[in-house]
Homo-oligomer: A and B are copies of this chain.
Amino acid sequence: MLDCGRYPVKRSLGDEVEVWADVFCDGHDLMRAAVRYRPPGARRWLEAPMEPIGSDRWHGSFSVDALGRWQYAIGAWVDRWASWRWEIDRKLEGGQTEFSSELIEGAALAGVETLTLERALDPASAPKLPRESETTVPPLELIVDRELARFGSWYELFPRSFGGFAGVRAQLPRLAELGFDVVYMPPIHPIGRTHRKGRNNSLVAGPDDPGSPWAIGGPEGGHTAVDPSLGTLADFDRLVARGRELGVEIALDFAIQCSPDHPWLVEHPEWFHRRPDGTLKYAENPPKRYQDIYNVNFDSPDWESLWRALRDVVGFWVGHGVRVFRVDNPHTKPVAFWEWLIRDVQTAHPDVIFLAEAFTRPAMMSTLAKLGFSQSYTYFTWRNTKAELVDFMTSLTRSEWPQFYRPNLFANTPDILHAYLQRGGRPAFEARLVLAATLSPAYGIYSGFENFENVPVHEGSEEYLNSEKYEIRERALDGQLLSLVARLNAARRDNPALQRLDNITFVETENAELIAYAKREGRNRVLCVVNLDPIEPREGVVIVPAALGLPPTFRVRDLLDDTVYTWHVGRNYVRLEPGTRQAHVLRVEQ
């Protein structure tokens, strides 16, 4: 139960939902309890029995086979017949032989004229009594998403660098072959001309500079138009359709800000912040000014039509087959807006997935996830040492976070080129790729990663030099890292242990640069060891604890190169040398 039932917990299709409750009453009466649950849109409540597991704690479960918002509750009641039977049994044990008064009571309970002791003791003749004093708890909500909300491999690309929608479409078979489930594209809409940013974020754009896709809106239209240089809406539809054939989903960016040329500034000036002189007010994050961006005013007097218009933007793209949205900076918009929008969209389309791009403090990040975002960005890119990574994963899997927060570990983004990658070269990219793909069931890379692109715009910056945000790059899927990507994505699909988040156990290595962890799902077990040092070979001892339940000696297969090793509960020597082998992803063989 999240925040006293204020927010729903999350599951994905096919999951078993486990429910625990303390069930007790005064006196010695015997109780029964059940989980009650109602699939989305169903009128009737279903029920699964709960069983006592000790000290008044009861347990029950049900499985979820439909997308959307389920309800569940708990009912508990006194079993009057069983309580009566229990007393008879105790009296028999105590040597009592005369039961006439008890049998009259039992007959009254059972609603029969007379009752014999023999019949009373026959379990087959126990009457079905109406539930007495049934107590229920207020229903709680449960969001059931597609498996993709939990488990998926993402590839982020700027379509303009791949030749627009048609060019991306041509790459889809290769992306599918590499094992990607989602291709996420930054905004595809017309880009503003006024105050357009030039290359490397310069304040003045050259005549051929394409501008930042996040400066949304131009004469050609706003959030429901496509940038003509990428193709037509029909081309976009063909892209989505081809993706569907290949099992690759096209994810769009939902970024609410508007360029100075967005049609809404003229059509709906009442939706924007104004200066005292009545002119519209561009975005600021003092002392920074964003003259190429206008933020909408969620508190404007006409907020209802604004909120609906934004919801309709999402609806428009849902109508064009899009089911995955990456949401830009949701933490700077009202949480009530997101809660309403996500519920509204998912009521009609429970297969829609929203990924929150919020980098802020835990209270807001967790609240966005609780109110409905299906997935969330994280601080993964900034967690590079072993201690940082263990802390990070612990914070994501501790307490109730796994009930609502699904991290999507991007190894890089157009905004984040971490110093670790800048300095570590190819081995650093390998280490981070393996970490992202094995720590979390959802992960992603932004194109260029596979080519080891790692030059910052200037020393100390996390921005890329010649960032694709402000110019067109000619790209092809030819990076040398792609063979490792394909290996990892295949390993992820083949191993259920890599499709869950909170099944992780960190394992001692006796080396601060070697991180090791085990994941398990049913009989499937994977052990990962990564050398976090991109320069030096590191050796250590992976100490497999007995608590993992493995046999004293077992064989493991490295899913990255099919080498087979013999490992032991206890100490296993490991040496990982940058340039030769940065990591092991070992599946325990049966």
Contact = CB atoms under 8 A, between A and B. Distances in A.
A364 B56 contact: yes
Nearest to A95: B287
A361 to B, nearest CB: 5
Interface stretch (A157-165, A328-336, A413-421, A485-493): A328-336
A108 B24 contact: no
Given A26-B331, A26-B334, A287-B94, A101 B275 contact: yes
Interface string A285-319: 11110000000000000000000000000000000
A101 to B, nearest CB: 5
A91 B363 contact: no
B24 A363 contact: yes
Contact of A22 (B24, B332, B363): B363
Contacts of A26: 331-335, 364
Interface string A273-290: 001110000001111100
Give this chain's copy count.
2
B28 A285 contact: yes
Contacts of A95: 287
A306 to B, nearest CB: 15
B287 A93 contact: yes
Interface string A319-356: 00000000000011111000000000000000000000
Contacts of A284: 87
B332 A55 contact: no
A177 B544 CA distance: 64
B363 A104 contact: no
B101 A363 contact: no
A570 interface: no
Contacts of A27: 332-333
A157 to B, nearest CB: 30
Contacts of A331: 26
A105 interface: yes
A96 interface: yes
A363 B71 CA distance: 25
Contacts of A335: 26
A545 interface: no
A123 interface: no
A96 B332 CA distance: 24
Nearest to A28: B285
A276 B55 contact: no
Contacts of A5: 4
A362 interface: yes
Given A87-B286, A332-B26, A108 B361 contact: no
A276 B105 contact: yes
A90 interface: yes
Contacts of A96: 287
Contacts of A276: 101, 104-105, 108
Interface string A526-563: 00000000000000000000000000000000000000
A426 to B, nearest CB: 36
A406 B338 CA distance: 44
A522 to B, nearest CB: 32
Nearest to A4: B4
Contacts of A286: 86-87, 90-91, 94
B101 A361 contact: no
Nearest to A337: B26
Given A276-B104, A335-B26, A363 B55 contact: yes
Interface in A83-125: 86-87, 90-91, 93-96, 101, 104-105, 108
23 contacts: A4-B4, A26-B331, A26-B332, A26-B333, A26-B335, A26-B364, A27-B333, A55-B361, A55-B362, A56-B361, A56-B363, A57-B363, A87-B284, A90-B286, A91-B287, A94-B287, A94-B288, A95-B287, A101-B276, A104-B275, A104-B276, A105-B275, A108-B276
Given A4-B4, A87-B286, A105-B275, 4 more contacts: A24-B363, A24-B367, A90-B286, A95-B287
Instruction: Report the 7 A-B pairs with minimum CB-CB distance, sorted nearest first.
Output: A94-B287, A90-B286, A4-B4, A104-B276, A56-B363, A22-B363, A87-B286
Interface of A: 4-5, 22, 24, 26-28, 55-57, 86-87, 90-91, 93-96, 101, 104-105, 108, 275-277, 284-288, 331-335, 361-364, 367
